[in-house]
């Protein structure tokens, strides 16, 4: 994948290692999001998204196995928006369809999300700061 940096973690933990080391069980695919827009479905299967500014990123329609982590690389507020027929569950509360979750604007603000097919919603999980309901 052109423009994508791959890193791996060794089985025993520790520092990042070269993917050719042969001890790897996981590789992180990094995606840079540098404008407001829609995220391709193919970029929601474990990718780590580096958000480089004050952007709103719209998720694809949720499907089994979709997940991703979003991290601000600058001190800018960013939002992740559910599609027109999807919603988020944020800290146990179901938001409206097409609502977004919004960071507080710090460099390093991070949230992981995943699609839960049982409740048919995006679950916002593993936040390092308080993301809020950004409305529609």
User: Per-residue pLDDT averaged across 50-60, rounded?
Assistant: 96
Distances in Å between the alpha carbon of 1 and those of 15, 59, 68?
Answer: 23, 21, 18
pLDDT of residue 4 exceeding 50: no
- Judging by DSSP bridges, how do beta strands 79-81 and 100-102 pair with one another? antiparallel
Give the pLDDT of residue 21: 52
72 three-state secondary structure: strand
The encoded tokens of residue 8 equal 């791996």
Round to whole Å and give the CA distance between 109 and 88.
18
- Judging by DSSP bridges, how do beta strands 100-102 and 24-33 pair with one another? unpaired
Question: pTM score, two decimals?
Answer: 0.79
**Which domains are seen in the chain, by residue range?**
6-135 (2.60.120)
Give the pLDDT of residue 27: 57
- Judging by DSSP bridges, how do beta strands 45-51 and 67-72 pair with one another? parallel
pLDDT for 80-107, tens place per residue? 999 999 999 999 999 999 999 999 999 9
Give the pLDDT of residue 101: 98
């Amino acid at each position: 994948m052109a423009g994508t940096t791959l890193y791996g973690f060794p089985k025993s933990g520790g520092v990042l290692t070269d993917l050719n080391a042969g001890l790897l069980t996981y590789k992180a695919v990094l995606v840079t999001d540098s404008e407001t827009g829609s995220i391709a479905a193919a970029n929601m299967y474990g990718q780590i998204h580096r958000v480089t500014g004050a952007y709103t990123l719209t998720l694809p329609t949720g499907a089994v196995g979709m997940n991703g982590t979003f991290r601000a690389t600058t001190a800018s507020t960013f939002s992740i928006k559910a599609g027109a027929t999807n919603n988020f569950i944020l800290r146990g509360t179901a938001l409206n369809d097409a609502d977004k979750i919004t960071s507080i604007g710090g460099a390093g603000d991070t949230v992981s999300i995943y699609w839960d097919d049982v409740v048919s919603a995006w679950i916002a999980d593993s936040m390092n700061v308080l993301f809020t309901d950004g409305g529609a």
